[in-house]
Structure 1
Amino acid sequence: MKVEFHTIGSFEFPADALIIKGKLEAEGIPAFLRDEATVNSDPSLSGAMGGVRLQVYATDWDRAKQIYDEVRGYATDKFGNPIVCPNCKATRSEIYYARKNFFYKLFPFFESTKYRCLQCNFITRPSK
């Protein structure tokens, strides 16, 4: 029997992932952290590896995603205001990195920050 996992989110720091993992487990959903030990041993690898990934069983995906969306933090500007999607005006966005070429895969910190709306998936750059 093949067990299938789905990634709920990726986190730069293992501590952030552990908080959400604890919430999911408190709700009765088994959760797992992928690459936690590697990022803990060398935090500078987090960006290149895509961070620590929080995963759940495929059968728990819908409920886990619902819980995660209730407690997660969304992207904010430098003043703490939520990023507003210019396409649909939603305030539920997350930081997005395309990492389309080899240079940005090796040096992700050089890629400019963009935001992805979680409602309509529109990608935008922050306003200056």
Structure 2
Amino acid sequence: MKTKFYTLATFEFPADALVIKGKLESEGIPVFLKDENIINTYSFSSNAIGGIRLQVYSSDKEHATEIFEEFRSYATDAEGNPVVCPNCKATKSEIYYARKNMFFKLFPFLESKKYRCKQCNFITRPSK
């Protein structure tokens, strides 16, 4: 039998993933951290690998998403204010890297930072 997983979120740092993992497991949801050991060993490679993927069983997707939305943090600007989407004015944006060409796949740290709104999926660059 093939088990299906749902990637709830990705994290650059193991500590961030472990906090959410602990909360989900305390609610009875099994959690799997894909690439955690690689990033713990080679932390500089987190961006190149795509971060630590926090995964749950597909059958737990709705309940896990509900819990995660209560605890997640969204992107903030240099002053600590939430990033506002210019399209829909929501404050639920996250850092986004496209990695569309081979150069940025090999050197992801050179790609400029962008934000993607979780409400309307609009992608924007940070204001200066």
**Residue identity opposite 1:66 in structure 2:** E
CA distance in 2, matches of 1:93, 1:24: 22
Q: Distance in 1 between matches of 2:114 and 2:60?
A: 30
> In structure 2, what residue type is equivalent to 1:41?
T
What is the Cα-based RMSD across aligned positions, in Å?
A: 0.6
Identity of aligned residues (%): 68
Other-structure match for 2:47:
47
CA distance in 2, matches of 1:8, 1:41: 23
Equivalent residue for 1:76? 76
Partner of 1:30: 30
Deviation of 1:63 (Å): 0.9
Q: Does residue 63 of the first structure (1) align with residue 63 of the second (2)?
A: yes
- Counterpart CA distance in 1 for 2:66 and 2:49 is 26
TM-score, normalised via structure 1 length: 0.98
Aligned residue number for residue 85 of structure 2:
85
Unaligned 5+ runs, structure 1: none
Structure 1 residue 2: deviation in Å? 1.2
Distance 1:19 1:106 in 2: 29
CA shift for structure 1 position 82: 0.2
Q: How many residues align?
A: 128
The match for 1:9 is 9
Give the equivalent residue in structure 2 for 1:113.
Answer: 113
For the residue of structure 2 that corresponds to 1:23, the secondary structure is helix
Superposed CA offset, 1:33-89 (max 9, x none):
000000001101111000111000000001111111110110000000000000100
Which residue number in structure 2 is paired with residue 99 of structure 1? 99
Structure 1: 4+ residue segments shifted above 2 A: none
- Structure 2: gaps (5+ residues): none
User: Under a length normalisation based on structure 2, what TM-score does the superposition of the two structures give?
Assistant: 0.98
Within 1, Cα distance between the matches of 2:103 and 2:66? 35
